[in-house]
Amino acid sequence: MFDFIEWLLQILGYALILVLVATFFDTFQIDDDHLYFYGLLATLIIFILNKTIKPILFFLTIPITGITIGIFYPCINLFILKLTDWILREHFQITNIFIAFLLAILISVMNQLVEIVITKPIMRRIKGNE
């Protein structure tokens, strides 16, 4: 049950970030005719890629992430975003690399906030009650 809540929070966070950035920047677009559908679909694709491909990418890039003291980590999210862009084609377009990098950083920050503010305190309570 706890995993489901964590997943739901991450999906909502991704959706919020995507819609806000698409609203403020013209170089990032989600299909206007079906904004919520493609926004949700992009969010689910990003979530699935983060749960499947991202751990493999992180493992393969541990040396460069270590050398850059973690600065390379948002580049993994950038790759996930560009992969989502490639999957959804004209329905989800990122035409500016700086906006894509901003999205990647915002997603990284959101993931850390969910973990620090929600996941870790709940896990401490669960372990404390056992």
Domain with 69, as residue range(s), is: 2-129
Number of structural domains found in the chain:
1
Residues 50 and 43: their CA atoms lie apart, in Å, by 10
Tokens standing for residue 11: 């999906």
**Amino acid 64: pLDDT:** 93
Contact call for residues 79 and 55 (beta carbons, < 8 A): no
Residues 126 and 99: their CA atoms lie apart, in Å, by 39
* Cross-strand pairs, 28: 94
Mean pLDDT of 17-33: 85
pLDDT tens-digit readout, 68-118 = 998 888 889 889 999 999 999 888 999 888 998 899 889 888 888 888 888
Residues 15 and 57: their CA atoms lie apart, in Å, by 23
**Amino acid 29: pLDDT:** 87
pLDDT tens-digit readout, 43-74 = 999 989 988 999 999 999 999 989 999 888 88
Cα R_g (the chain), whole angstroms: 16
**Amino acid 2: pLDDT:** 66
